[in-house]
Chains A and B, each alone.
Chain A
Amino acid sequence: MSRPSDERISDFLTGELAPAEREEMLEQMRQDPVLRERVGSLESIAANLELLPREAWETLGEQPRPAARTARRPSPRTPRRRMALVAAACALLLGAGIGIGVLIERPGSAGGPTVVLRAVAGPSSEQATARMTSGGRMVLTVDHLPATAPGRFYELWLMNSDSDLVSVASFRVGSDGKAQLNVPLPVSAARYHYLDISLQHAAAGPAHSGDSVLRAPVPS
């Protein structure tokens, strides 16, 4: 199998590969340690660039925002695509044991600011813990959430208001009420005030359903 071109690597790093292409790339990385090291190191740098605060970019000199874009928002991903990415990344991690993609939190992994998300509706056993980790990622652990019915899923958001928010990840919960995931943050969490978990309907489109289940301030 020949190594992917730089164009393909760039598509991978910017999240612009189709799910099948991404899976193919991950498989190539799993089989090729040189490629894995190269792309993994660039992915780490890209993740840190994603987390640079606005003030950091401003120190490089004020630049006008491109006119065609008024708000920064990652290209929307369907829950199905996100779940495919999770599955693909998990497959790679299980095979190669390297720190990219999505993985279940390892015991003793480095800690970061942590916050407990609590039920919006009032006292409840439902809760989640979100911990910022190095490399611009967040480990989310949920407990006692109702299992997701067919066609429904939970979605994690960074939010300032109902019109200023960005989707971080979607996930489903089984009958044990638990889920754990480690996801890259698409933007700097410092730009948002709240972490929010909503219950979504797959048929209702990618917008926030308005049905917030858990919420907490973004840990600083």
Chain B
Amino acid sequence: MSTFAIAPATAKRARLRQAEGVPSRPRSTSRAQRRLLRGLARRDPSVADAIQSEYGRVLLGYLRQMLDDAGAAEDVMQQVLLEAWQRGPSFDPERASVLTWLMTIARSRAIDVLRRRVPEPHDPAVATALLDRDAIEEDHATEVAERWQMTYLLSTLSSDHAELLRLRFQFGMSQTEIAEHTGIALGTVKTRMVSALEQLRGLIGETR
């Protein structure tokens, strides 16, 4: 089950919306994101810094997990920043969020690196096996990208909600333990848990 839509599906939905005459949903953007969008449109040299500041930790975290090599991840990160800067003027915020767009670029470059690590096969049977493996690898890259997108969205939640989710899903605390740890009534912990997950679901919807 895929929580996020990486660019191709997002673009398809946007095209469908346009074809059906359905207006795109407005995306909620922070001041920093609006500045970033202007920088992308103008191919402003400072846009790489803006991307680093807003999304750098998530992009690099994703690349590190995918490549399992900090040096390679840093190299690919530079490629992502360069590509984002080069393609910035053609970025359409109505078709995808900046985050989704950047994660799509990072995913593609990570897959490029992973495939270069495997020598070209000469045996047709090996080539077929590699094709299967490539498909698995792409699915895995998408799933990992979705989780890192979620990580960014977690950082935009209210601190109360983010902390609640951290205690449950990072530290594995039960709701009773969370109530004891935070001093919040158990019933409130439970209603906030649902509220936090629904807030996150809403943010995920905006990235599509």
Decide: B3 and A45 in contact? CB cutoff 8 A. Answer: yes
B151 touches which of A59, A68, A72, A114 (Cβ 8 Å)? A59
Question: What is the CA–CA distance of A52 and B143 in the complex, to the nearest angstrom?
Answer: 11
B148 at the interface (CB under 8 A from A): yes
Decide: A132 and B140 in contact? CB cutoff 8 A. Answer: yes
Instruction: State the Cβ distance, B110 to closest chain A Cβ, in Å.
Output: 13
Question: What is the CA–CA distance of A74 and B172 in the complex, to the nearest angstrom?
Answer: 6
Within 8 A of A (CB), among B69-111: none
Decide: B201 and A55 in contact? CB cutoff 8 A. Answer: no
Q: A57-B166, A59-B61, A59-B151 are in contact. Are A42 and B139 (CB under 8 A)?
A: no
Q: A52-B147, A66-B171, A134-B143 are in contact. Are A99 and B1 (CB under 8 A)?
A: yes
Within 8 A of B (CB), among A193-220: 220
Within 8 A of B (CB), among A95-125: 99, 110-114
Q: A56-B148, A110-B139, A113-B136 are in contact. Are A49 and B173 (CB under 8 A)?
A: no
* A141 / chain B contacts, CB cutoff of 8 Å: none
Q: A66-B173, A72-B171 are in contact. Are A60 and B1 (CB under 8 A)?
A: no
* B200 / chain A contacts, CB cutoff of 8 Å: 45
Question: What is the CA–CA distance of A46 and B139 in the complex, to the nearest angstrom?
Answer: 20
Decide: B197 and A42 in contact? CB cutoff 8 A. Answer: yes
A63 at the interface (CB under 8 A from B): yes
| Extra 11 A-B pairs, beta carbons < 8 Å, given A48-B146, A59-B61 | A6-B190, A16-B175, A53-B147, A57-B151, A59-B57, A63-B163, A65-B171, A66-B171, A66-B181, A68-B181, A134-B1
Interface positions of B (Cβ within 8 A of A): 1-3, 57-58, 61, 64-65, 68, 132, 135-136, 139-140, 143, 146-148, 150-151, 154-155, 162-163, 165-175, 177, 180-181, 187, 189-191, 193-195, 197-198, 200-201, 204
Q: Closest 10 A-B residue pairs measured CB to CB?
A: A72-B172, A10-B190, A49-B169, A135-B1, A7-B190, A56-B151, A10-B193, A59-B57, A6-B194, A57-B170
